[in-house]
Chains A and B, each alone.
Chain A
Amino acid sequence: GDSVTQTEGLVTLTEGLPVMLNCTYQSTYSPFLFWYVQHLNEAPKLLLKSFTDNKRPEHQGFHATLHKSSSSFHLQKSSAQLSDSALYYCALSDRDYGSSGNKLIFGIGTLLSVKP
């Protein structure tokens, strides 16, 4: 079945350094890929979504590129901020077929801790 793999459970880095969080996936179809961010005591919310035309999505300085050849959708940012400390989930959803409702399949999440 479909699955998402996030290999790092915890990433700790110093403010100002670049961020890269890994995400690879397995899917029968060509799925949509997402990054969700969950700050402490908050709901998970959408950070980025892959585009069908291979444009690179960007939001709040974060970006991710869908590479179908390597089944990856790594999250990157050039310079980490203290406020980026949060739990980051990679997820996929099959393209809409009929009325299945596009359930999300999540990775285990990566906790990003940015230190001064």
Chain B
Amino acid sequence: GPKVLQIPSHQIIDMGQMVTLNCDPVSNHLYFYWYKQILGQQMEFLVNFYNGKVMEKSKLFKDQFSVERPDGSYFTLKIQPTALEDSAVYFCASRHRVNTEVFFGKGTRLTVV
């Protein structure tokens, strides 16, 4: 079936540095999402993105976070600067349009040290 690819699967970064998490969504999808899962907790919505704009963001989406999808390529989540509490698994997801199936990637485990 359709796949959302996330690169890399694991990234370790020093606190205060910048990190970019990359997501290759399903090719004809129009809505894109990032979710954050801290170890032992549920997956929580961060942001959704449509037509080049952030549609909705949660309180977890701090000012240090940004998303973009330049020229229809990767959908990226950038954190600058990183903090220890940003350590989590970040899941990317996409869907073709509202009320259709959401497809998830395998996640990127971010460890901030």
Task: Identify the A interface with B (CB < 8 A).
Answer: 4, 32, 36, 41-46, 49, 89, 96, 99-109
Contacts and interface: CB of A to CB of B under 8 A. Distances in A.
B55 A99 contact: yes
A64 B110 CA distance: 34
B50 A41 contact: no
B43 interface: yes
A76 to B, nearest CB: 22
B102 interface: yes
Contact of A109 (B1, B42, B48, B102): B42
Interface of B: 1, 3-4, 31, 33, 35, 41-45, 48, 50, 55-56, 91, 95, 98-99, 101-107
B50 A103 contact: no
A100 B95 CA distance: 13
Contact of A106 (B42, B98, B105): B42
B98 A46 contact: no
A107 B42 contact: yes
B98 A44 contact: no
Contacts of B91: 43-44
A102 B98 contact: yes
Contact of A103 (B1, B41, B45): B45
Contact of A108 (B31, B42, B104): B42
Nearest to B32: A101
Contacts of B102: 46, 104
Contact of B45 (A49, A105, A108): A105
Nearest to A99: B55
Given A44-B91, A96-B99, A108-B42, A103 B33 contact: yes
Contact of A43 (B33, B101, B106): B106
B26 to A, nearest CB: 12
A49 B95 CA distance: 15
A40 to B, nearest CB: 11
